[in-house]
Amino acid sequence: MHPAIQTLISQAPLSDADVAEFLKGHSFPIIEGRHATFVYHGAVDAVHLRHWVYGLASSQSFHRIEGTRLWYHTLELPPHSRVEYKLEVVHNGHHQWIQDPLNPNLAHDPFGANSVCAGQGYRRPDWTEPDPEARQGTMKEMLFKETKLGGPRRVSVYLPARFRESRRYPLLIVHDGGDYMRYASLQTVLDNLIHRLEVAPLVVALTHPGDRLSEYPNHPGHAAFIAEQVLPEMKAKFPLYDAPASRCLMGASFGGVAALATAWRYPGTFGRLLLQSGSFAFTDIGENKRGPTFARVVEFINAFRDKPGKPSEKVYVSCGTYESLIYENRSMVPVLQATGMEVRYEEARDGHNWENWRDRLRSGLSWLFPGPLWMVYE
């Protein structure tokens, strides 16, 4: 329990002015060492912390300070942690999940926004913030009217600042490209890392899926769309290096499955993979406990683990230690290494979310496509 909370409890009964002074004098959650204290102020019957830290009870009850409308809960939080959460408030039998009214820090995703608790030592990387000195890349749009998926598909293309037709560039193909742009600051990250010479100038194809849950788990039409349509069209329109080592497939969650499955179906085509929190569910032993959505994922990962071949040359894998998928991602690393591929694996104290994936982009991209800075100093 934070000392300020202990002081309040010891001073009870408290006036409204005492509570107001406490709220005014702190930012929330209150971080002290390995502990985070969450606070809610309101006339409700109960408050629960709802978080996405795998292994901890997903609902943890607040305590009310007697005689007040002030509620608190203290959670142990290791240094450098980042946790997304909501509060569940209960009033007259009605349960409502809300963002923390006392915490202005939010993380957005396709489903809305969550409050963010940053543990001691966590800072948003400066290379994810707009840098006025970094020249911005440009965006173009491509439309495939007929695709191997049976309908039209749009692909957005990022061209780096100082793009020249007389030069050649590596190609990065990003699954869920629109979400990476909106929720993981991908264009800002690319602009900054290329400007800082940490990542080579890249041409980036950003795909926009239809039904990703059906298209991504080893779908032959999806793999053919990427390898037989997007790749040739990008080669025809832009000056790209023509070697597998200069081509990378990237994706997170189900997008990580799609990237791996496409490279597996087209070995020798994509020499680089960047896989973030891949939904690599398998049942070598046991049964699928993740439900029917994962059935085709399990079928693919089981087949891959049995006969992985060598789908690529270098693979960067990252996962949050607070994710339910941490076991599957850790288990995939030796399987990938056994193929002869060069593998780099990274974990972070974060969950299954876009800002975790954003924060790992520098280490992944600079290892797969090092810019002049890394080529000189490493």
Summarize pLDDT for 298-343 with one digit per residue, the tens.
999 999 999 999 999 999 999 999 999 999 999 999 999 999 999 9
Is 130 found in the same domain as 111?
no
50 strand-pairing partners: 59, 86
Classify residue 61 by its DSSP letter: E
Q: What is the pLDDT of residues 5-59, one digit of tens each?
A: 877 777 778 888 989 999 999 999 999 999 999 999 999 999 999 999 998 888 9
* Domain of 66, in residue numbers: 3-118
142 strand-pairing partners: 155
Is 156 found in the same domain as 73?
no
> Whole-number mean pLDDT of the chain?
95
User: Can you tell me which residue has the tokens 């193909």?
Assistant: 173
Is 230 found in the same domain as 96?
no
Which range (23-27, 266-270, 271-275, 334-338) has the least confidence? Answer: 23-27
Q: Please tell me the predicted confidence (pLDDT) of residue 70.
A: 94
Is 265 found in the same domain as 312?
yes
Q: CA separation (Å) from 73 to 1, 34, 39? A: 8, 14, 7
Is 217 found in the same domain as 175?
yes
Q: How far apart are CA 75 and CA 260, in angstroms?
A: 37
Is 336 found in the same domain as 370?
yes
**Residue at which a domain ends, from 96, 118, 140:** 118
Give the pLDDT band (50/70/90) at residue 67: confident
Q: Please tell me the predicted confidence (pLDDT) of residue 374.
A: 58
**Residue at which a domain ends, from 72, 97, 118:** 118
Q: At what angle do helices 254-265 and 295-306 cross, to 10 degrees?
A: 40
Q: Please tell me the predicted confidence (pLDDT) of residue 285.
A: 63
Cis peptide preceding 29, ω within 30 of 0: yes
Q: Please tell me the predicted confidence (pLDDT) of residue 378.
A: 43
Is 353 found in the same domain as 231?
yes
Query: What size, in residues, is the chain?
Result: 378
Q: Please tell me the predicted confidence (pLDDT) of residue 375.
A: 52
Q: Are 8 and 37 in contact (CB under 8 A)?
A: no
Q: Please tell me the predicted confidence (pLDDT) of residue 9.
A: 77
**What's the domain count of the chain?**
2
Give the pLDDT band (50/70/90) at residue 291: confident
Q: What is the pLDDT of residues 72-114, one digit of tens each?
A: 999 999 999 999 999 999 999 999 999 999 999 999 999 999 9
Is 134 found in the same domain as 30?
no
Is 109 found in the same domain as 149?
no
pLDDT more than 90, % of the chain:
88
Is 303 found in the same domain as 219?
yes
Q: Please tell me the predicted confidence (pLDDT) of residue 10.
A: 78
Is 72 found in the same domain as 104?
yes
Is 130 found in the same domain as 53?
no
pLDDT at residue 164 greater than cutoff 90: yes
Q: Give one DSSP letter per residue of 292-339, joined into a string.
A: GGGHHHHHHHHHHHHS-----SEEEEEEETTSTTHHHHHHHHHHHHHT
